[in-house]
């Protein structure tokens, strides 16, 4: 350890910029560390059959076969384990041609079934295609009819024939078929000749291609019409409302099945639905969109996340800080926020004739603490190098992710409640160090990040290193040194990474990390950013061994990012079926009749006193109580009938382990704690919320296990 001295600082703070973070502090900067998401990769858990929610259901269920790698970067996926690799428009030109041709085939089918329908445009999209029609509103039943007609066209194996015509000729033909939208499209085509594609001799459309050679190249069993929605012509609300039919198309039937399964699974995991079903959180219209209310069951999970997060940081030598929500406007002038970021900050407020500003972030606060502790602890006299680490957490950040939702492939457009939070609490920390220490410090952050993410079952990452952009502050030498240090740290850690040349922040190079969830989707999560700018702006220094003042380097880093967002990802990762240590309610006592209620309450008190999150659930017949508990994914259920009261026992069923049998209450407590311990990836639950007696019990359990 290179620390000659370290002050102990504890912080809990929050920062409040106004809305999304464009301009200087865009998602490329450390401020908006969590731009939305994902490209998808392989399912990291492979095949696992879902056992339906019985007592014996598995805790982390995934799928019924077939399992697919999510559409996305198919080249990264591995089909050796029997998974189906889904190609994309980028990875397979054939697929793109199929999808494009499907759009025409669908338009032809629609006009065969509904001769009055007017065609407009129909591009290929991620996972399929769509086409917009001016026609009467359609229903799902209509889609079946249209698909049947498409199948007929595909079955006829009609060739797609390209024809070049003059503008006049195109106009003439469009007039002959009376297609006003096509005329409008023709007007927007500037180049000549105009290309027309025929499907056999039966139908034609204006198009530039590409297509498959004939409709028989489409596998009709790999095509499905998914939905119909209203869409304005040219996206303009003053123009006619059209009927947009979405379809999905693949090369093979297996791919279609896998895609549909993947989509279904993503829907099943939707954190909004699970959040409501398990009563974890809500968004209250009366309070405002994007403002998250953590309900007791969500709040306790968050508390556990924060607790684990803090504990690991402190073990890694961080100090905790709590800093104020507002500061004088001048502070944000020094930091540069007011100059570069003002439109994203809330209006200033006047307090006792002084202008104050809600914090847009924490960095300047940590600098103040660094400065204060540096001088007042007399480090400057020690003549030794110094480094400070401060952690800050639970601070609010305005975060308009909504606008970024457009980047999401359609099947994940549901993924946005917690991602669209206006204010989110973000885990933030800053490290102050010397140039020579960057590599070791970054390496330390990588270790810590991995340790924390492993706690929550995230063990696959995509790492990006972003280098110097065109506009930047700081000299060539320090950029070079820092970038090499980041590379060395990653190499040392043994993580592979991609380099985003020129993608760094203007103030320094950075490392971004995406986590891969149980469905193989990737989510932007951690970030580590070197900063040459703020130390300069605040003129912070340390005194080196030659008694000379030097400028330290600042490193911004966040591990989980926005807590709201991380929680949303976590809920979907586990499909709400949290491991025991994270479960909001770990055990439920279920009396067979009300006669056993008193005994249940007693047992409940003992469980609670032992640190187990338990509750009594009564007032219904036992099968109903069990069903409700299953629905809420309660890991442990203790059934209590007259016999259990008489023998002072409980009969235990585990969600993941099935029937555990009848046992004395003490044995149940020991058992629960043992399960708790094993459910925590690092077994670090030991120190988590347990009293001394419980720790001893667990220690005994560990001895027993050994």
Q: Which residues pair with 516 in a beta bridge?
A: 522
The CB density around residue 443, as the number of other CB atoms within 10 Å, is 18
Asked if 610 and 669 count as a contact pair (C-beta separation under 8 A), the reply is: yes
Q: Is residue 363 a contact residue for Zn ion (CB under 5 A)? A: yes
* Among 521, 605, 59, 576, CA closest to 301: 576
Candidate ranges 6-14, 124-132, 206-214, 255-263; the one touching Zn ion (CB under 5 A): 206-214
Min separation Cβ 471 and Zn ion, Å: 19
How, if at all, do strands 160-165 and 128-134 pair?
Answer: unpaired
Of 34 and 581, CB closest to Zn ion: 34
Min separation Cβ 558 and Zn ion, Å: 8
Structure tokens at 105: 């085939």
Structure tokens at 390: 């401060």
Q: How far apart are CA 345 and CA 398, in angstroms?
A: 9
Of 33 and 283, CB closest to Zn ion: 33
Structure tokens at 439: 């590599």
The CB density around residue 195, as the number of other CB atoms within 10 Å, is 17
Of 120 and 586, CB closest to Zn ion: 120
Q: How far apart are CA 407 and CA 37, in angstroms?
A: 8
Q: How far apart are CA 211 and CA 100, in angstroms?
A: 6
Q: Is residue 207 a contact residue for Zn ion (CB under 5 A)? A: yes
Candidate ranges 63-71, 84-92, 249-257, 358-366; the one touching Zn ion (CB under 5 A): 358-366
Of 272 and 426, CB closest to Zn ion: 426
Candidate ranges 201-209, 322-330, 407-415, 590-598; the one touching Zn ion (CB under 5 A): 201-209
Of 105 and 660, CB closest to Zn ion: 105
Euclidean distance between the first and the last CA atom of the chain, given in angstroms as a whole number: 34
Of 397 and 644, CB closest to Zn ion: 397
Q: Tell me if the bond preceding 210 is cis, omega within 30° of 0.
A: yes
Asked if 249 and 225 count as a contact pair (C-beta separation under 8 A), the reply is: no
Q: Between 309 and 348, how does the x/- string for binding to Zn ion read (CB under 5 A)?
A: ----------------------------------------
Residue with tokens 């601070």: 395
CA torsion angle 284 288 289 290 (round to 10): -90
What does the longest C-alpha to C-alpha distance in the chain come to? 95
Count of residues in contact with Zn ion, rule CB under 5 A: 3
Q: Reduce the DSSP state of residue 658 to 3 states and report it.
A: strand
Backbone angles phi, psi at 504, to 5 degrees: -70, 170
Q: Reduce the DSSP state of residue 218 to 3 states and report it.
A: coil
Q: Is residue 99 a contact residue for Zn ion (CB under 5 A)? A: no
Touching Zn ion, residues 551-570 (CB under 5 A): 556
Which DSSP letter does residue 456 get?
Answer: T
Candidate ranges 70-78, 105-113, 205-213, 563-571; the one touching Zn ion (CB under 5 A): 205-213
Of 216 and 641, CB closest to Zn ion: 216
Of 207 and 676, CB closest to Zn ion: 207
Of 556 and 655, CB closest to Zn ion: 556
Could you tell me where the beta strands, DSSP code E, fall in 399-521? Answer: 423-433, 461-466, 498-500, 510-516
Residue with tokens 């002084």: 354
Of 207 and 283, CB closest to Zn ion: 207
Q: How far apart are CA 427 and CA 13, in angstroms?
A: 10
Q: How far apart are CA 338 and CA 395, in angstroms?
A: 20
Of 363 and 636, CB closest to Zn ion: 363
Candidate ranges 153-161, 187-195, 360-368, 484-492; the one touching Zn ion (CB under 5 A): 360-368
Backbone angles phi, psi at 232, to 5 degrees: -75, 145
Of 249 and 363, CB closest to Zn ion: 363
Of 207 and 292, CB closest to Zn ion: 207
* Rounded alpha-carbon distances, angstroms, from residue 420 to 37, 328, 402, 407, 565: 12, 29, 5, 13, 8
* Dihedral-angle region of residue 288 (phi above 0 means left; psi in -120 to 50 means alpha; beta otherwise): left
Candidate ranges 229-237, 249-257, 548-556, 631-639; the one touching Zn ion (CB under 5 A): 548-556
Q: Is residue 199 a contact residue for Zn ion (CB under 5 A)? A: no
Residues forming contacts to Zn ion in the complex (CB under 5 A) are 207, 363, 556
């Amino acid at each position: 350890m290179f620390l000659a001295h370290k002050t102990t600082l504890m912080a809990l703070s929050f920062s409040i910029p106004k809305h999304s973070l464009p301009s200087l502090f865009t998602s490329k900067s450390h401020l908006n560390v969590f731009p939305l998401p994902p490209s998808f990769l392989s399912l990291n858990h492979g095949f696992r059959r879902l056992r339906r929610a019985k007592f014996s259901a598995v805790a982390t269920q995934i799928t019924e076969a077939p399992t697919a790698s999510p559409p996305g970067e198919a080249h990264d996926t591995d089909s050796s384990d029997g998974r189906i690799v889904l190609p994309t428009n980028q990875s397979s030109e054939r697929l793109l041609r199929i999808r494009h041709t499907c759009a025409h085939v669908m338009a032809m089918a629609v006009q065969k079934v509904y001769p009055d329908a007017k065609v407009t445009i129909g591009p290929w999209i991620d996972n399929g295609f769509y086409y917009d029609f001016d026609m009467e509103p359609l229903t799902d039943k209509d889609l079946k009819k249209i698909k049947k007609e498409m199948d007929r066209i595909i079955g006829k194996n009609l060739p797609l024939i390209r024809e070049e015509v003059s503008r006049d000729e195109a106009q003439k033909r469009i007039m002959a078929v009376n297609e006003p939208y096509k005329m409008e499209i023709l007007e927007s085509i500037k180049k000549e000749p105009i290309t027309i594609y025929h499907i056999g001799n039966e139908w034609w459309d204006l198009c530039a291609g590409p297509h498959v050679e004939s409709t028989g190249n489409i596998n009709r069993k790999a095509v499905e019409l998914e939905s119909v929605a209203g869409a304005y012509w040219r996206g303009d609300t003053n123009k006619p409302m059209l009927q947009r039919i979405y379809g999905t198309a693949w090369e093979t039937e297996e791919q279609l099945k896998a895609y549909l399964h993947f989509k279904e699974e993503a829907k099943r995991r939707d954190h909004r639905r699970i959040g409501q079903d398990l009563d974890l959180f809500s968004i209250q219209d009366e309070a405002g969109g994007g403002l998250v209310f953590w309900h007791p069951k969500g709040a306790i999970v968050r508390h556990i996340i924060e607790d684990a997060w803090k504990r690991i940081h402190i073990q890694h030598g961080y100090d905790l800080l709590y800093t104020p929500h507002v500061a004088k406007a001048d502070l944000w002038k020094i930091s540069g926020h007011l100059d570069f970021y003002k439109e994203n900050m809330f209006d200033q407020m006047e307090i006792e004739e002084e202008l104050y500003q809600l914090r847009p972030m924490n960095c300047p606060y940590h600098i103040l603490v660094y400065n204060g502790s540096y001088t007042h602890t007399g480090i400057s006299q020690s003549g030794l190098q110094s480094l400070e680490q401060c952690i800050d957490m639970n601070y609010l950040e305005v975060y308009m992710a909504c606008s970024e939702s457009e980047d999401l492939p359609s099947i994940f457009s549901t993924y946005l409640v917690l991602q669209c939070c206006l204010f989110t609490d973000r885990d933030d920390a800053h490290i102050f160090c010397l140039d020579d220490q960057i590599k070791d410090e970054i390496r330390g952050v990588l270790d810590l990040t991995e340790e924390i993410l492993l706690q929550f079952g995230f063990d696959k990452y995509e790492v990006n290193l972003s280098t110097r952009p065109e506009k930047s502050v700081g000299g060539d030498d320090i950029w070079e040194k820092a970038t090499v240090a980041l590379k060395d740290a990653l190499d040392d850690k043994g993580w592979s990474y991609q380099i985003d040349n020129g993608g760094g922040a203007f103030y320094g190079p950075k490392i971004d990390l995406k986590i891969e969830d149980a469905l193989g989707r990737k989510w932007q999560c951690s970030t580590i950013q070197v900063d040459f700018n703020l130390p300069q702006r605040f003129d912070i220094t340390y005194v080196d061994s030659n008694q000379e003042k030097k400028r330290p380097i600042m490193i911004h880093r966040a591990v989980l990012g926005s807590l709201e967002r991380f929680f949303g990802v976590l809920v979907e990762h586990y499909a709400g079926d949290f491991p025991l240590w994270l479960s909001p309610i770990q055990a439920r006592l279920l009396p067979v009749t009300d006669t056993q209620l008193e005994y249940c309450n007693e047992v409940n008190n003992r469980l609670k006193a032992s640190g187990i999150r338990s509750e009594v659930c009564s007032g219904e017949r036992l099968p109903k109580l069990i069903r409700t508990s299953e629905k809420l994914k309660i890991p442990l259920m203790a059934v209590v009938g007259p016999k259990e009261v008489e023998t002072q026992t409980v009969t235990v069923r585990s969600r993941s382990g099935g029937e555990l049998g009848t046992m004395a209450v003490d044995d149940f407590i020991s058992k629960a704690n043992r399960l708790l311990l094993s459910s925590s990836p690092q077994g670090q639950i030991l120190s988590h919320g347990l009293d001394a007696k419980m720790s001893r019990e667990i220690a005994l359990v560990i001895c027993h296990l050994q």
